[in-house]
Amino acid sequence: MAVMHLYAELLAAGVDAAQHYPGVAAHLAACEACAEDMDGLLAAVQDDERPPD
């Protein structure tokens, strides 16, 4: 959980986050609840990176 935000930021930037954090990638593959949390966090990070309308 301590690096979830970093993982999401890497994903949003198009970086292979699993290469940097293989343990997180393995956990997300096995834990549906955390994978759902990551989806929400990634959506929030991507929204923050979009220019305002």
Task: Give tens-digit pLDDT for 1-53.
Answer: 889 999 999 999 999 999 999 999 999 999 999 999 999 999 999 886 665 55
User: Residue 7: left if φ>0, alpha if ψ -120 to 50, beta else—which one?
Assistant: alpha
Q: pTM (2 decimals)? A: 0.81
45 CB burial (10 A radius; 0-12, 13-18, 19+): middle
CA gap 53, 39 in Å, rounded: 23
What span, in angstroms and rounded, lies between the C-alpha atoms of 7 and 9? 5
